[in-house]
Amino acid sequence: MIPDPPDVATALDLLGLTVVPEDFEALSCQVAWTHPAAVAMSDAQSLAYRVVWEAVEKCIESRTRVDL
């Protein structure tokens, strides 16, 4: 059974972050910094990463959207 995804605030907390990063590279770097490759992420953290990735994507889209 796949657990329900956490909200963004909970996802950030699970990843050791305080804010949604500005881009995907910043997200990857910040998560790698707090969770080195030698330490496996839990299923909850993996799901949290996806939630934060989607939040970053929405932020990027809102910055690049042009209203005509």
What distance in Å separates the CA atoms of residue 46 and residue 15, rounded to the nearest whole number?
9
Alpha carbon of 1 to those of 27, 34, 43, 54: distances in Å?
27, 28, 12, 22
- Nearest of 60, 56, 34 to residue 45 by alpha carbon: 34
pLDDT, one tens digit per residue, over 49-65 is 999 999 999 998 888 76
- Nearest of 65, 58, 66 to residue 23 by alpha carbon: 58
Instruction: Check residue 2 and give its pLDDT.
Output: 63
**pLDDT band at residue 1 under the 50/70/90 scheme:** low
The pTM of the full predicted model, rounded to 2 decimals, is: 0.82
